[in-house]
A and B are shown apart, each in its own frame.
Chain A
Amino acid sequence: MLAYVIRRVAQSVLVLFVVGLVAFAMFRFVGDPVDNMLGQERTQADIERLRETLGLDQPFPVQYWRFLGQAAQGNFGLSYRQGRPVADILMERLPATLELAFVSGLLALVGGIALGIFTAIRRRGAAANAIMTLSLIGVSLPTFLIGILLIYLFSVELGWLPSFGRGEVTGLGGWWTTGFLTQSGLKALILPAITLGLYQMTLIMRLVRTEMLEVLRTDYIRFARARGLRDRAINFHHALKNTLVPVITITGLQLGSIIAFAIITETVFQWPGVGLLFINAIQFVDIPVMAAYLMLISVMFVGINLIVDLLYFAIDPRLRVDRTAGRGT
């Protein structure tokens, strides 16, 4: 088990090194940082001096290594556009994205698993069939369209919910801002969270349903029925646990992609998170911000994957095979 964990951590670190290389390459080869930093009136001497100060005269591997070292400490330099440390800008924006992703993820997970179980257990029922049909729409409509439809219905027509922004936020501990504590903050969360979570929710629901139907056909469920266990025990104890094993991996990946997908939702709702920051950074070719965003997202992705893999262990005893356990005949 320990060997497995070490191997997975090593893989994760490797992935981060590669992403770091891409981010670094952006710095190095998309535009010239020296050009960006020096004004129009510059001499060749100025350029040489700045190159030396920035370490750009060093060999490529050395530069890459220094870049990683800086990145690991959260130092991505100054934003070309705002002239402030990129880390500060990201930290301001991160709470908005994380809160949105958290609510969407929760919605996708709870809603997806509950609906998946329901549609599997009552697979011949009218309600289950209706949900399955609706979910097809959920999967096939693009995210931005869902967002626009929701805005049209709930903001424009009904006027119940705001169509953009985060509402009123409260500062916490000087470095976090939350929309959870004010009514306008909570209201502002609803539409973006649904928009962002709907696709993942339908995916998780369909996955849970398929897995659950599969599990309900197995011999051990049949045997559990033959022992006269109650439907509740069979569905929620025996079947659900087995359903969740394969569901966990995909679900973990889905939750990871929520943070990435947030770019679209944040743009539609002008949500002041890192996704919107990234889109704006692209418009202004603000390389440090783009590179930092890339690194941040990949750290989250890799982190979630790692947690998912470890969860797998917690739930499935077959993976924690204790080879010393006796095997009698």
Chain B
Amino acid sequence: MTTPVLSVRDLVVEIPTRRGVLRPVDRVSFDIAAGEILGVVGESGAGKSMTGNAVIGLLDPPARIARGEVLLSGQPIQNIGREALRRLRGKRMGMIFQDPLTSLNPLLTVGEQLTETILEHMPVGNAEARRRAIAALEEVGIPAAAARIDSYPHEFSGGMRQRVVIALALCAEPDLVIADEPTTALDVSVQAQIVALLKRLCRERGVAVMLVTHDMGVIAEAADRVAVMYAGRLAEIGPVREVLTAARHPYTAGLMASTPLAGHGRRRLRQIPGAMPRLGALPPGCAFHPRCDRAEARCRQDPTPRVEDCGGRAACWFPLAAPADRQEAGA
């Protein structure tokens, strides 16, 4: 197997506070291969953004990577230093944020922001940088790119601005893109277009994409694999079909049951009772056990399970059975 573009190994992010050390990301591991989209889902506060920021080296102090490894094409980058990390950002890994309205500098033209980024990372002159900037805008589907390159961000609509943001994140041709809820702030009508664009760029360029989202529809549409986070930990990870249709972790199952999914018609939605615990008040053992109807003594007493400790799919001592097993049980 070829080396994955991104490999995260037992990543721990800590925030020291007066009332103890918080762990918004706790021993999380996953890989993303070239040309693959890993969807990351979970409730607000589950640690999705923290994970993405840790990977790209943009954690806001006092948050910091306390343990674990981030490997970019096999090379560890979690402690290579500020300047070395800066050189990798943009060039080897890009990031797309939630709100295209606030992601672009209002006082600089789209072209200025693009050429500045290209000149920073590529060995080209001004004219060539401008040519590439126009090409980047064309590639993300901005009509009349050559004419609009000197426009300011406010002259574009929300959907167009998110395209510009994507062009900016990709203009220095990174191998990895972290998209943190790239469609959440957009009109429903343009969300699908942006997802389709991301998917196309991923396939055409072989970029590895970490796609953080609340939206199960987006996951079902775009992701190859999906990771489910809960209270800073990875609850489940696997191929998108399997996770969506046959969840192993009770939390994932609960999440699916509470989410309306296209193609499933009218289903009764069931909410998981209770709420995700705050980081400062995590229960011992599996963080989900107080809300879980399958919980047993082991879930409270044993150390927090990781996906790797439980067969590589779900971080659960008593996972739901795989479909094959279920059929056998039913027969």
Q: A residues touching B (Cβ–Cβ < 8 Å)?
A: 218-220, 222-230, 233, 237-238, 241-242, 245, 315-318, 321-322, 325-329
Contacts and interface: CB of A to CB of B under 8 A. Distances in A.
Given A227-B90, A228-B90, A229-B117, A327 B108 contact: no
A223 B87 contact: no
Interface in B148-181: 151-152, 154-157, 159-160, 165, 168-169, 172
A328 B102 contact: no
22 contacts: A219-B99, A220-B106, A222-B58, A222-B103, A223-B104, A223-B168, A226-B56, A227-B89, A227-B117, A228-B86, A228-B88, A228-B90, A228-B120, A228-B172, A238-B105, A238-B108, A317-B154, A318-B154, A326-B155, A328-B142, A328-B157, A329-B157
A226 B94 contact: yes
A325 B152 CA distance: 10
A326 B160 CA distance: 11
A226 B121 CA distance: 13
B107 interface: yes
Residue of A227, A233, A241, A321 ringed by the most chain B CB atoms within 10 A: A227
Contact of B107 (A241, A321, A329): A241
A225 B155 CA distance: 23
A223 B90 CA distance: 10
Q: What is the interface of chain A mostly: helix, strand, loop, or mixed?
A: helix
A230 to B, nearest CB: 7
B90 A329 contact: no
Contact of A228 (B121, B143, B152): B121
A219 B106 contact: no
A276 B207 CA distance: 72
B107 A226 contact: no
B190 interface: yes
B91 interface: yes
A218 B152 contact: no
Nearest to A226: B95
A220 B104 contact: yes
A245 B107 CA distance: 10
A329 B117 CA distance: 25
Contacts of B160: 328-329
Given A226-B95, A228-B120, A318 B152 contact: yes
Contacts of B89: 225-228
A225 B87 contact: no
Contacts of A230: 86, 120
B94 to A, nearest CB: 7
A242 B159 contact: no
Residue of A226, A242, A326, A328 ringed by the most chain B CB atoms within 10 A: A226
B58 A226 contact: yes
Contact of B97 (A222, A245, A328): A222
B97 A317 contact: no
Contacts of B88: 228
Interface in B38-92: 56, 58, 86-91
A229 B107 contact: no
Given A223-B104, A226-B94, A229-B120, 20 more contacts: A219-B102, A222-B103, A223-B168, A225-B58, A226-B97, A227-B90, A227-B117, A227-B168, A227-B172, A228-B88, A228-B120, A229-B116, A230-B86, A238-B108, A318-B154, A321-B154, A326-B155, A327-B157, A329-B159, A329-B189
A184 to B, nearest CB: 45
Contacts of A226: 56, 58, 89-90, 94-95, 97, 169
Nearest to A223: B103
Nearest to B109: A317
A220 B97 CA distance: 9
Nearest to A328: B160
A230 B82 CA distance: 11
A228 B82 CA distance: 11
A294 B176 CA distance: 65
A133 to B, nearest CB: 23
A214 to B, nearest CB: 13
Nearest to A325: B155
Given A220-B105, A317-B107, A321-B154, A228 B91 contact: yes
Interface string B7-49: 0000000000000000000000000000000000000000000
B150 to A, nearest CB: 11
A242 B142 CA distance: 26
A230 B116 CA distance: 10
B117 A328 contact: no
Nearest to B118: A227
A226 B113 CA distance: 13
Contacts of A326: 155
A118 B84 CA distance: 24
Contacts of B120: 227-230, 233
Nearest to A227: B90
Closest 6 CB pairs of A and B: A228-B90, A228-B89, A226-B95, A219-B102, A227-B90, A317-B152
B94 A227 contact: yes
Contacts of B142: 328
B56 A316 contact: no
